[in-house]
Structure 1
Amino acid sequence: MNIQIKRIYDAVEPADGKRILIDRLWPRGISKEHAQLDDWAKTLTPSNALRKWYHVDTEQRWDEFQQRYTAELEEQEEDVQALKSLAQKEKVTLLTAAKNAGKSHADVLKRILERG
């Protein structure tokens, strides 16, 4: 599977493949034209309550956030499977505005998609 995570603010590249925004809120300062999205997967984003809870203390809440977000994604199994199927066929770039993609929902989603 060929999945990468990229900030929405990074330059668009032909090697990105399918560009999918995985943030619930539209990123500040980015026009829809500039984003060049193939999809906006709102159903695969953390709920507003979880997102707000996590941002209070991202360091201390990271482990529990991963568990809670994984549980939320289990309720979106059809959409997760559709994205996984797409990623098995072609390159997918998960786009987020998160400054630390390694400790964000993007990282959790990528790991879930890559599971066999």
Structure 2
Amino acid sequence: MKPQFYLKRAYEPAAKEDGYRVLVDRLWPRGISKEEAKIDEWAKDLAPTGALRKWYDHDPARWDEFRKKYEAELKVNEALHPFMEAHARQHIFTLVYAAKEEALSNAVVLKAWLEKHWK
């Protein structure tokens, strides 16, 4: 059975329903402590590369190109399959991100990729 994936901003309070909370940003969210964030795992290696993140800079005009470039990175990301294998029994994931706009967050792209490729 494939797990359920949800998205939540790091600045929103954690909830029991979140399941396994995975921070999917390369940088830790500003102004929030590790205790406050209640992150189960910080999966930096699933985030876009630093160069792609800096190029994108959450510019809405670059969203479509960012999404394509990030999907290309995910295709060759060696951390993804070990992550999926390590969490094969997990049923609920919340992908935690810091971006102000959920729709423009790398977490949206990662969620779609995981939903499509999870075995």
TM-score by length of 1: 0.88
> How far apart are the structure 2 equivalents of 1:96 and 1:87?
22
Secondary structure (helix, strand or coil) at the match of 1:5 reads strand
Secondary structure (helix, strand or coil) at the match of 2:100 reads coil
Partner of 2:11: 9
Partner of 2:69: 68
Preserved contact between residue 3 and residue 93 of structure 1 (Cα < 8 Å): yes
> How far apart are the structure 2 equivalents of 1:11 and 1:83?
25
Q: How many residues align?
A: 114
Preserved contact between residue 20 and residue 90 of structure 2 (Cα < 8 Å): no
RMSD of Structure 2 on Structure 1 (CA)? 1.7
Runs of 4+ in structure 1 over 6 Å off: none
Structure 2: any 5+ residue segments left out of the alignment? none
Identity within the alignment, % = 47
Partner of 2:81: 81
In the alignment, does 2:106 pair up with 1:112? no
Alignment-mate amino acid for residue 23 of structure 1 = D
Alignment-mate amino acid for residue 60 of structure 1 = A
Give the direction of change, closer, same or farther, for the CA distance of 1:83–1:2 in structure 2 (3 Å limit). farther
Give the direction of change, closer, same or farther, for the CA distance of 1:87–1:109 in structure 2 (3 Å limit). farther
Instruction: Considering fraction of residues, name the structure with more helix.
Output: 1
- 1:52-79 Cα offsets, whole Å, 9 max, x none, are 1111x622211110111111112214x3
What are the within-5 Å matches in structure 2 for residues 22-37 of structure 1? 22-37=24-39
**Residue 51 of structure 1 is aligned with which of 50, 53, 56?**
53
> How far apart are the structure 2 equivalents of 1:87 and 1:97?
26
